Amino acid sequence: MNTTQSQKGEQLISIKINVVKDDYEPQVKKELNKLKQRAQIPGFRPGMAPFGMIKKMYGAQATIEVLNTLVSDTLNNYILENKLDLIGFPLSDPEHQQPVDFDTQDALDFYFEAALRPEIKVDYAKAKVNFAHIVADDAAIDKTVEELVERNPEITHPETVGENDVLELKVREAEDGKELEGGFKKDYVILDIKDIRTKTNKKKFIGKTTGDEFIVNLSVMLGSNEKAAKILGNDAPADSDYNVIIDDIRHEEKPELNEEFFNKIFPNKEIKDIDAFRANVKEEMERQYTAETDRILFTKMIDALVDNTPFVLPDEFLKRWIFENNQGKLSVEDIEKNYETNYSKGLRWQLIEDSIVKENMELAINDDEVRAFLRSQIFPGLDYETMEADMKERLDKIVDSYLKNEEQTNNVKNQLADVKMTNFLKTKLKIKYTDQTYDEFIKDLEKENKKESKKKK
């Protein structure tokens, strides 16, 4: 058996595997003998049918199977031994491959095409990107401060129920003014007095104190069975009377913008005045804007690198490779139509990315990084390093359980790889930032997306 290689194009080679009968006939005989021992042929005891009959019945099938395995192993070993760096996998070479006849040919030739991975030199300086630096203007900061105030009210527990209070209740299904034995009950129900429909109904609660209990129809109070079900649960009987017991009264007021509030929102920063608080709000808003838009910036950086990193690809081979790799899910026409806009661009970026990672090993992903990244996704804001050992152990078990799923693990690795590559490219490419508000950025993005949609049509 002999394997040779020849050049077909700048990035395309042909591999020829020459096989003679001595290379495969002994294995074919061995397989036929195995079949002979198992074959049950009418007129012959098991294993006693003549070898010639077995060969006539199964010889072609056995020869094809043996040759497939032999040629496949030979091709793979040749690629490994010669350290061929390929794109995808080899395909049968339609230019040279001829039909084979096992009965008449003493030597068989098998030809394969393979695409060599091009040598890629990334020139980061040529890849220029225009992008927005989203700034939080006074109006956006005002809105965020107001939202923070609303989400962080000062809570007191007054002795009596007022018009704007929220109650924690126990409820017991009732009938004829008494609790119904064996009826529905729930020990934690939140009722906002503002949700009660009429002033008359509100008066049944206002002025009551913790521990008071009385009979009401919550569906009537709130105006519908659906609204009652939202606080009681869908398994609660519709339009029923309930004995309600007041467990707690909560009164919420807007907090003052003082040091106590500032340090509640930004612990350990010791913010003294409103100007410093607004500066911290602005900084946090812009950090979040950056996190939200990094994915868009990453796409633009990819486009810039693909457009400014030229190298030759064997396109016709790759179209065939895409077709074979999709197992009939894509037609030749679909691939031809979308090759430049979808497949070629994606493949070029993949090759560029591989080249960048090879030259910058800090971009490679290791298991510890995957675990740390996953912890940050599942438990954002938690400082793992300062946790007690038992808490670390519990979190590690959750992470271990998640990583048992191969698909989920691969998704996490891909997300982490994108984050690391984004941060790396932000330090390498020439990015011209223009200050914009968030609303301005969204409007420009919508216009850009419309333009891209028109181009595709």
The pLDDT assigned to 185 comes to: 95
- pLDDT number for residue 457: 58
Token representation of residue 311: 């190298």
| Tens of pLDDT, residues 40-51 | 788 787 778 888
CA distances from 175 to 212, 279, 325 (A): 19, 58, 69
Token pair 């996998």 in the structure block, residue: 89
pLDDT score at 456:
64
- Pairing of β 107-116 and β 86-92: antiparallel
Strand, coil or helix: 430:
strand
Distance in angstroms (rounded) separating the CA atoms of residues 239 and 130:
61
Residue 122 makes CB contacts below 8 A (sequence gap 6+) with 305, 309, 352, 355, 356, 359
Q: What is the pLDDT of residue 290?
A: 95
From first to last of its 457 residues, what are the pLDDT tens digits of the chain?
Answer: 899 999 988 899 999 999 999 998 999 999 888 888 888 788 787 778 888 888 888 888 899 999 999 999 999 999 999 999 999 899 999 888 888 887 788 899 999 999 999 999 999 999 999 999 999 999 999 999 999 999 999 999 999 999 999 999 999 999 999 999 999 999 999 999 999 999 999 999 999 999 999 999 999 999 999 999 999 999 999 889 999 999 999 999 999 999 999 999 998 888 999 999 999 999 999 999 999 999 999 999 999 999 999 999 999 999 999 998 887 788 899 999 989 888 999 999 999 999 999 999 999 999 999 999 998 888 887 778 888 888 888 888 999 998 999 999 999 999 999 999 999 999 999 999 999 999 999 999 999 888 877 766 5
Tell which residue, 4, 3, 8, 6, has the closest CA to residue 317: 8
| Predicted pLDDT at 104 | 80
The encoded tokens of residue 330 equal 């894509």
- Looking up tokens 């040279």 gives 96
Q: Kindly provide the b/e burial profile for residues 108-117, where b requires at least 16 CB atoms within 10 angstroms of the residue's own CB.
A: bebbbbbbbb
pLDDT in tens, 228-242: 999 999 999 988 999
Round to whole Å and give the CA distance between 219 and 191. Answer: 12
Predicted TM-score (pTM) of the model is 0.77
Amino acid, single-letter form, for residue 187? D
CA distance 396 to 370: 12
Question: From CA 317, how far away is CA 323, in angstroms rounded?
Answer: 10
Q: What does DSSP assign to residue 160?
A: B
Domains belonging to the chain, first-starting first, are: 2-116 (3.30.70.1050), 154-253 (3.10.50.40), 274-311+360-456 (no CATH)
Q: How big is the chain by its Cα radius of gyration, in Å?
A: 36
- In Å, the largest CA–CA distance within the chain is 105
Q: What is the pLDDT of residues 265-313, one digit of tens each?
A: 998 888 999 999 999 999 999 999 999 999 999 999 999 999 999 999 9
Amino acid, res. 233? G
The DSSP element (H or E) to which 397 belongs, if any, is: helix 389-403
Q: Rounded to an integer, what distance in angstroms lies between the CA atom of residue 154 and that of residue 402?
A: 38
Answer for the pair 6, 95: CB distance below 8 angstroms, yes or no.
no
